[in-house]
Amino acid sequence: MTALIPFNQLSAEQARALLAPCVAIPHWVEQLVAERPYASRGALLDKARTLAAGWGEAELAQALSAHPRIGEKPQTTGGHAEFSRREQSAVDDNDARLTQALKEGNARYEARFGRVFLIRAKGRSGEEILAALERRLNNGDAEELRETLAQLVEITLLRLEGVISE
Ligand SMILES: NC(=O)NC1=NC(=O)NC1=O
C-alpha cells in the first residue's frame, strides 16, 4: 500500500512495479505512470477508469493470461496470484459439489466463448459466481465481451484502490 504523494515521487520503474499486479496490460500501467503527478487519489482512479474504458479484445487477451480460472487456486506466487487468491477466498474449495459445478461451467464457457470466464470475485460467494456463469453462458458474443470487459475494469480498479491509499 503506497500513499498518493510517495506514488507521485517514485521512479517510473518503481511505479510500474507497484501497478503491474493490478492487471496484465502493460500499456495501461505505462499510461498511468506517465500521467503522474496526480493531484488526488480520486484523480488517479478517474484516469485509471478512463484509460480502462478503451479496452477491447486485445487487452482482454493480455489480462486473461494473469487471471486463474474461478475455483482454481493460482499456481504461481506474488503479484497477480496473491490478489487472485484473496479475491477468490469466498469460493469454498471444500465444497466438492460447487467446485465440480464451477469446473464444468468453466469448461462450457471456454468451449462457447474461447476464453476463460472472468468475473469480479471479491464480495461474491461461490454460489453467486456459479449463477452468474450460468446466466452469462446465454449471452451473445458482443454482449458477453462487454460484460467481461466491465468485470475486468472492476477487478483492476479494486486492486488499484488497494494499492494506492489516500
Ligand atoms: N477467472 C476469474 O474471474 N479470475 C478472477 N476473478 C477475480 O476477481 N480475481 C481473479 O483472479
Report the nearest-CA residue for atom 2 of ligand 1: 118
**pLDDT digits over 99-117, tens only?**
999 999 999 999 999 999 9
Q: What angle do CA 125, 130, 132 make, to 5 degrees?
A: 95
**pLDDT digits over 120-140, tens only?**
999 999 999 999 999 999 999
Mean of pLDDT values over 137-157: 98
Fold of 2-165: UraD-like (1.10.3330)
Q: How far is the CA of 53 from the centre of ligand 1 (A)?
A: 19
Mean of pLDDT values over 139-146: 98
In degrees and rounded to multiples of 5, residue 3 shows phi and psi of -75, 160
| The pLDDT of residue 51 | 98
In this structure, the residues whose C-beta lies within 6 A of any atom of ligand 1 are 67-70, 84, 87-88, 116-122, 155
d(Cα 165, Cα 107) in Å, to the nearest integer? 38
Q: Comparing 37 with 93, which gets the higher pLDDT?
A: 37
Average pLDDT over all residues of the chain: 94
Q: How far is the CA of 128 from the centre of ligand 1 (A)?
A: 14
Residue 13: pLDDT band with limits 50, 70, 90: very high
d(Cα 166, Cα 158) in Å, to the nearest integer? 14
Q: For residue 78, is pLDDT > 90?
A: no
- Check: CB of residue 154 under 8 Å from CB of residue 148: no
Residue 71: pLDDT band with limits 50, 70, 90: confident
The residue type found at 86 is R
One-letter-per-residue 3-state SS of the chain: CEEHHHHHHCCHHHHHHHHHHHCCCHHHHHHHHHCCCCCCHHHHHHHHHHHHCCCCHHHHHHHHCCCCCCCCCCCCCCHHHHHHHHHCCCCCCCCHHHHHHHHHHHHHHHHHHCCCCCCCCCCCCHHHHHHHHHHHCCCCHHHHHHHHHHHHHHHHHHHHHHHEEC
| The pLDDT of residue 73 | 72
Domain extent listing, the chain: 2-165
| The pLDDT of residue 90 | 83
Of 105, 31, 20, nearest in space to 63 by CA: 20
The residue type found at 54 is G
d(Cα 6, Cα 118) in Å, to the nearest integer? 32
Share of the chain above pLDDT 90, in %: 81
**pLDDT digits over 17-68, tens only?**
999 999 999 999 999 999 999 999 999 999 999 999 999 999 999 999 888 8
pTM comes to: 0.95
Residue 72: pLDDT band with limits 50, 70, 90: confident
